[in-house]
Structure 1
């Protein structure tokens, strides 16, 4: 795979060229409601353009991996908005008022479509996905203070995770064909928490920076920035972890693509077959999105597919188990059922995480910095020098 050297493109230029510009092009097509052939042409160009972006090597593995995942998500967001929905006709924001979007000046329609394309969870729109946490009830000043603390906490979390990963031979000096399953189970849990903590911390960090800037500048209110992740107390099953606790950034397009495929296959809406097709297709598309991350760091496309393909199997197992044992489990105390659920979810994610973590460990994920300035490293160096 050809990769552009880091010196050939700066991060701001990358963001404008591969994130902002394609979004504006998408908004223009949607705002003017151009015919289907223009949408096909745009999507073909968009796919080629994003693949070029995924081939750019920044010299930082974490940045390359994140870019691949982000551009992969944008690709399916574009597919969804071009062919599965008509935003001008179907979507409304709470601030739109009485006048239809289609009757507004062209520049207002384009801006409206840009906002729609960049609002992944649909907060404040009539298509807001389920599972989004309730809006904050804090006043503006308190919300800004709490958001600043969350930005700092997320940065410290990333710093700690970076320090731990860089000091684990499994990540910083991987042996050929090594697997986290060769370690004892507590160590596997530790590796799983390290790796899934990275996107958790990074997404929170950038999300709360955006929230702070948007609210401090008066561009939006705190009600438009609910927490990105749900409560970890809801992670008592694989289904609730994905559906309530984890972020819902791509849920709308993944679920819509899954439903569209289920309809094409003739499944009756609401039937068990429809639900199984919907869930499996949604995770399959998610696997393709994340496969672009591996592509961006030079791995084989789809190397982590088994992890994403396995998740709906666990969810279907949970649904079958719950339906067949319902009359036997109602007498079990609630807290016991919850403890069993948490244990099952932890065991499953630790086991299946190997399919996701092993490839990135083999790529040398622990050899690069994640944060530009490490507070942990700075403090330790000063402590060692002073002792």
Structure 2
């Protein structure tokens, strides 16, 4: 018997969302969300993955996609409200060809932090901008740091495999651990930190190397750890801001709904 996996549902939801963003402004465009919602919700009830980490990643991916789709298809008239700052071309995006709108939609969907867009966070909420470098200087710099982050990630993962709290079964958790052991949460943070930086740096190398973007368009993924002296600053200034918009736009829209 074939077991269903979340993959096809996620790809289908992504495709519908992308096509919806590319569609010209219309009051009917938001109806596409009725197709996306079940594609994101149903896989959450499929058989669990082998480890709790895989379950967490799968569920987080689906919830994030659901929120992004609700933002771009329902809550925001994307082609009239959002714009690329360096896009001075004419006519307006809604009047361009289907292919131009599809490329614009892809740029919007893949710009998780909004860098270069009208909704880009203020500088204090993004990592530091890279200094002025040539394309090859930027690529070499990123390659060096990719190697470092990869080695650090391997070391952290190898260490975690020797600790029962990180075996993925959920039998032992840091929530019930004695206080000295709770400090091991920093190992999980380190795994997340380096685990996010490796694909990020590879993406910067590919994008800049292929001429799809410029080095100055890639601020660092994380801010200065020394700025994380409060919970708010840790999440708002130091940690990556990829989910900043999806965590603010839907709640803000709900709060604006009249109750009478």
SS in 2 for 1:126: coil
Task: Give the structure 2 partner of residue 318 of structure 1.
Answer: none
Provide the rounded CA distance (Å) in 1 between the counterparts of 2:62 and 2:170: 30
Match for residue 138 of structure 2 among 143, 151, 154: 143
- 1:235 and 2:228 aligned: yes
- 1:109 and 2:101 aligned: yes
1:145-184 to structure 2, matched below 5 A, reads 145-172=140-167, 176=171, 178-184=172-178
SS in 2 for 1:145: helix
Q: CA RMSD in A?
A: 2.8
Provide the rounded CA distance (Å) in 1 between the counterparts of 2:159 and 2:235: 26
TM (norm. structure 1) is: 0.59
1:315-326 to structure 2, matched below 5 A, reads none
1:363-374 to structure 2, matched below 5 A, reads none
Match for residue 248 of structure 2 among 255, 261, 277: 255
Task: Give the structure 2 partner of residue 246 of structure 1.
Answer: 239
Structure with higher Rg: it is 1
Provide the rounded CA distance (Å) in 1 between the counterparts of 2:113 and 2:168: 39
Bigger fraction of residues in helix: 1
Provide the rounded CA distance (Å) in 2 between the counterparts of 1:52 and 1:3: 17
- 1:75 and 2:70 aligned: no
**Structure 1 unaligned residues grouped into runs of 5+:** 267-387
Provide the rounded CA distance (Å) in 1 between the counterparts of 2:173 and 2:53: 20
Task: Give the structure 2 partner of residue 129 of structure 1.
Answer: 121
1:78-93 to structure 2, matched below 5 A, reads 78-93=69-84
- 1:48 and 2:38 aligned: yes
Contact persistence 1:23–1:117 (CA under 8 A): no
Task: Give the structure 2 partner of residue 206 of structure 1.
Answer: 199
TM (norm. structure 2) is: 0.85
Match for residue 86 of structure 2 among 83, 88, 95: 95
Contact persistence 1:235–1:241 (CA under 8 A): yes
Distance 1:226 1:173, change over 3 A: closer
Distance 1:263 1:149, change over 3 A: same
Contact persistence 1:23–1:114 (CA under 8 A): no
SS in 2 for 1:264: coil
Aligned residues: 254
